[in-house]
Amino acid sequence: MSGRSGLATRLYQGEAGLNIIGRRRVWFGIAAGLVLIAILGISIPGFKLGIEFSGGNSFQVPASVGTIAHAEEQVDAALGDLGGAEPAHVVSSQTVNGVGGSFYEFRTTELDTEQSNEVQADMAGKFGIAEDQISVNQVSAAWGDQVTERALLGLVVFVVLVMIYLVLRFEWRMAVAAVSSLFLNLVLTAGIYALVGFEVTPSTIVGFLTILGFALYDVVVVFDKVQENTRGITASSTQTYGEASNLAINQTLMRSINTGLVALLPVGGLLFIGAGLLGAGTLEDLGLVLFVGMGIAVYSSIFFATPVLTLLKDYEPRIQTHTKRVLARRSSGATARPARPVAQSGSEPADETTDGQDVDEAAALSGAAPKVGARPAGKRSAGARGGRPAGGSGNRPSGAKRR
């Protein structure tokens, strides 16, 4: 192989030296650490539920009233005027750029109809605008419960269909490894979402279901190559199942990275430009879930799904027997065979020998090649000198007399 070959070519031919399967304990340890952090993030700070799930009220005020900080102070003051044992407060605030102009959206704890009308009138007086310029929406927590139940039902149906497809398309071990990768993706994305502190909205649920499809696509691409490399592998004794799977990861690594980058670019624009720079707050929850989930999907398909698959295959008796046979053959070959000549760059690898005759042939072929113009090395007949016929010299017949 030429030294100028690109990384993609060397990965595809297994020459880059990325031993991912051989270091699967490292990847499992990293995954376990990330899962622990995600669980702590979910349990300690917890999810910040939007009013769709916790119930509450939404007040939309024109952005012309001033800065969002000043507007939030006025809304808090209006809520404080209600009094009560548990005073209402602002849960979240954001700037929304709509077709009719920009406005501020303030989400508060749940209020009844009378309290909502009172706060609306108080806010209109504080901002000096008409009451009809303030939009009020009330959301019950029961609606969020329905959304959660339907999302969980959709997740269960999706996982069942994925299991059936992967079992029919590949085998049950690949199905288990793929679903394990999907759950890892969900847990890590949920943990990061909880640590960041974004509100959980219906868009968040949609984002979680979307990243499952992307993660499954990447895993299926890798598993398809694994199946191609390991088809009929037990019929030979040159490569173990783990080595063939590792080659499959190398061959699909650049494709997975390129696919992930292409998918992350528009999602990153949605999150950082749309929600960050342009202030489209309604996009931040969806953008964060998609960005984090797609990035983790690339990691899990390479460093988790296939290592889990090889771990499960190592418990299969047929694969265990094959692995022992390959290792025994290599061990006997390392002690009984002479060292093979190192192939030069660009040359085909030498075929492995299987018996003593092949060893002799390999040793003979490894000798030095004759120089250009040299005579063939053959045996001379008795009495021959310099290649002349025996019994005379030069080109004269043997019976001619010298004068």
C-alpha neighbours within 13 Å on the C-beta side of residue 268: 8
pLDDT at 12: 60
Distance (Å, whole) CA 175 – CA 166: 5
Contact between residue 94 and residue 55 where contact means Cβ atoms under 8 Å apart? no
Q: Which pTM does this prediction carry?
A: 0.70
Encode pLDDT of 366-376 as tens digits: 333 344 334 44
Buried b (16+ CB within 10 A) or exposed e, 22-59: eebeebeeebeebeeebeebbeeeebbbbbbbbbbbbb
Distance of CA 81 to the CA centre of its chain: 52
Is the CB of residue 45 less than 8 Å from the CB of residue 101? no
Nearest CA to 81 out of 133, 131, 120 is that of: 120
Please compute the mean of the pLDDT values over residues 120-126 and round it to a whole number. Answer: 89
Q: What is the mean pLDDT of residues 325-341?
A: 68
Report the alpha-carbon distance of residue 60 to residue 94 in Å, rounded: 10
pLDDT, the chain, mean: 77
Beta-carbon contacts of residue 184 (< 8 Å; ≥ 6 apart): 31, 35, 296, 300, 304
Rounded Cα distance between 42 and 32, Å, is 15
User: Among the ranges 99-103, 142-146, 252-256, which has the highest mean pLDDT value?
Assistant: 252-256
Cα–Cα distance, 231 to 74 (Å, whole number): 69
Say which range, 154-163, 290-299, 358-367, has the weakest mean pLDDT: 358-367
pLDDT at 65 over 70: yes
pLDDT the model gives residue 188 = 93
Q: How far apart are the first and last CA of the chain?
A: 68
Tokens 């418990």 sit at which residue? 315
The residues with which 103 forms a beta bridge, in sequence order, are: 62, 96
Is the alpha carbon torsion for 292, 48, 91, 141 positive or negative?
positive
Instruction: Average the pLDDT over 269-273 and give the result.
Output: 77
Instruction: Write down the pLDDT at residue 400.
Output: 44
